Amino acid sequence: MKGQRLFVRPATKSDDTSIRKLLENHNVTTEELATEQLIGFLVGTPAAVAGVSFSPSEAEIQYLVVRPDLRKKRVGRVMIGELAALARQRGASRLVLRKRTPFDEAFRRLGFVESGETLVLSLE
């Protein structure tokens, strides 16, 4: 992955098959698909997908899935950065992860802090 850039954009209807493939082994059902999604591509191949919902003051990450072979290669970090930028554009002051995952430590390394049962990243 060195020297390659992750291209992240809002997901479109034509990305549905790629998104479902990424999510199929990560306990995210099609009923849980967020209304707003970002998809990351590496050399034209889907590498990650993130679902987010917005309220006036916060953006809640519904899911963030990185292809297993690309974990620990900064793909998740780039996706969080893109989610944070989108949340700031929408006026949100924080990024929230309510569903706890086995990857909580990775979120902590990215600046998220525990607040009760949630992980929160301040965008201010």
Query: DSSP strand E in 19-115: where?
Result: 36-42, 45-54, 58-66, 94-97, 113-115
Global pTM value: 0.88
Q: What is the pLDDT of residues 16-65, one digit of tens each?
A: 888 888 888 777 766 666 678 999 999 889 999 999 999 888 999 988 99
**Residue 37 to residue 25: CA distance in whole angstroms:** 18
* Tokens 């002051």 belong to residue: 93
Average pLDDT, the chain: 88
Mean pLDDT of 110-122: 91
